[in-house]
Amino acid sequence: MTDLTHLTISEARAKLRGKEITAAEITEAYLAAIERANPVLNAYVTVTADKARDMAKASDAKLATGEGGALEGIPLGIKDLFATEGIHTQACSHVLDGFKPRYESTVTTNLWADGAIMLGKLNMDEFAMGSSNETSYYGPVINPWRRSRVETVVMPTTHQGDGGFVSAGGTKTARTLDNAQLVPGGSSGGSASSVAAFLCAGATATDTGGSIRQPAALTGTVGIKPTYGRCSRWGIVAFASSLDQAGPIARDVRDAAILLKSMASVDPKDTTSVDRPVPDYEAAIGKPIKGMKVGIPKEYRVEGMPEDIEALWQKGIAWLKDAGAEIVDISLPHTKYALPAYYIVAPAEASSNLARYDGVRYGLRVPGKDIVDMYEKTRAAGFGREVKRRIMIGTYVLSAGYYDAYYLQAQKVRTLIKRDFENVFAAGVDVILTPATPSAAFGIADEDMASDPVKMYLNDIFTVTVNMAGLPGISVPAGLDGKGLPLGLQLIGRPFDEETLFQTANVIEQAAGRFQPEKWW
């Protein structure tokens, strides 16, 4: 029997509806996989086994009568940023110690209404601030992918043909896994790691500067950040409200389309939720891209970018060309200013959003000699280093005398970044193809990144422009580097044109194939 955890959502959906498998069986398979793997990968911070079993039972009852929803019986992992009623919701921060919301986020409400099953809450960078999942109060998440070396081994004659390529001379090339542990990217590191390691069928994630697309790229999974306003932000712990968007991480493009359809909605509880019906994203998959105009921005060719990534980008261009797309060189002149502008706008909004963690209404309280002392001690103990750093930057750039020089300047630059994209789309470009990240997965506790916060920030150099302009972007696995690690390509679309992203990403996926890590955990 096939391992139920290896089914894609679309495959599991067919088998559940066809009564070949039950929701209880697939849920048990995932719970068992989590129990084995989580002590090593640390992807889940809470496993809701009892709730999952209850939900599976309810799903099986619905499936038996044929009234199941679009995700009936599909087990999912939920990023710890989403409020889930009565269940651990801490944005992986100590400051929200013990917080169990009395309400449910709109995105998760939509998923449960469609019949999905909750397996638990997923690890993430504290308050979604990070690109490696190392800032979590609950410790780093481990990437199921490891580097490997290609070696030529002489085969003992008795073992010939057990995998690998057997050569006439009795030698074969084999990949040997390196033991070094790698990061899954961040901030949705738990989401990406759990999807790649078959610990959930799909996961919710959020993206403020690249937090869906970067971890997806580093784990060989598909991640889409939809247009700002497509998914309701109600019940999602706020980081930078003008940039935050929810989206799915999934094992293939079709699964990402299925999940986004359920997650997205028009929500009166979020004033930035846009009044547009949610299309059937899955219907875009398989549509030809003949005649589509694909833009290649020259500003994304950055200094020091590994050759593997440049080569992969060229491959992506060739695949789309072969499928009949027209490739055009474009320019997005303000690209290099997106990251510095982001590191003013996002911390400014964060310093304001995180002011609510004061030891009064929820979470941690550290006693002090008076109320201000209590606030200061609570926040000093509750926030980790990276979060403090960003609150401090935000407080500084918004403080009297600096507002115009920093914040206003950054918001003007943001207008220019958005205008770059508008010009390109107005010239007839349908979709933009770029690398998703400037490197493959790196080591846990990488010394270079730990010593300089800006080095870590550079991970988001290709993804952050999309948040600044509010556009949709998808990361799709496109190949492996020389060390056997996955790399992703990013597609950027017009506002609310997620369908074109799914359509084009599917062409890349068909050409590149699918990638899964060799199991060592």
Show which residues are catalytic: 79, 187, 211
CA distance 201 to 193: 12
* Pair 309, 441: CB distance under 8 Å: no
For residues 261 and 241, the answer to whether their CB atoms sit within 8 Å is no
Q: Give the DSSP H or E segment for 293.
A: strand 293-297
In angstroms, give the least distance from the CB of 375 to other proteins. Answer: 4
Phi, psi of 37 (to 5 degrees): -90, -30
Candidates 65-73, 151-159, 160-168, 464-472; binding stretch for other proteins (CB under 8 A): 464-472
Q: Which of 171, 272, 510, 516 binds other proteins (CB under 8 A)?
A: 272
**Cross-strand pairs, 247:** 205
DSSP string over 15-58:
HHHTTSS-HHHHHHHHHHHHHHHHHHH--EEEE-HHHHHHHHHH
Nearer to other proteins, 164 or 340 (CB): 340
- Considering beta carbons, is residue 281 or 383 the nearer one to other proteins? 383
- In the complex, least distance from residue 228 CB atom to other proteins, rounded to whole angstroms: 5
166 contacts other proteins (rule: CB under 8 A): no
Q: Report DSSP letters for 396-457, one per residue.
A: HHHSTTTTIIIIIHHHHHHHHHHHHHHHHHHTT--EEEEES-SSS--BTT-HHHHH-HHHHH
Q: Is residue 277 involved in binding other proteins (CB under 8 A)?
A: no
Which of the residues 369 through 428 are near other proteins (CB under 8 A)? 369-377, 379-380, 383, 388-389, 391-393, 395-396, 399, 402, 405-406, 408-416, 418
DSSP alpha helix (H) spans, 323-360: 338-353
- Position 469 contacts other proteins (CB under 8 A): yes
Strand partners, 204: 248
Residue 105's contacts (CB-CB under 8 Å, 6 or more residues apart) are: 82, 83, 84, 232, 234, 235, 236
Q: Using CB under 8 A, which of 44, 99, 145, 198 touches other proteins?
A: 99
- The enclosing H or E element of 328 equals strand 326-330
Does 502 interact with other proteins (rule: CB under 8 A)? no
Comparison of 252 and 270: residue with beta carbon closer to other proteins: 270
If one asks whether residue 299 binds other proteins (CB under 8 A), the answer comes out as no
DSSP string, 232-249: --TTB--S-TTT-EEEEE
Stretch that binds other proteins, among 10-18, 25-33, 320-328, 462-470 (CB under 8 A): 462-470
Site string for other proteins, 427-456 (x = CB under 8 A): -------------------------xxx--
**What residues between 305 and 324 interact with other proteins by CB under 8 A?**
none
Would you count residue 87 as binding other proteins (CB under 8 A)? no
In this complex, which beta carbon is closest to other proteins, that of residue 1 or of residue 372? Answer: 372
Among 470, 477, 484, 488, binds other proteins (CB under 8 A): 470
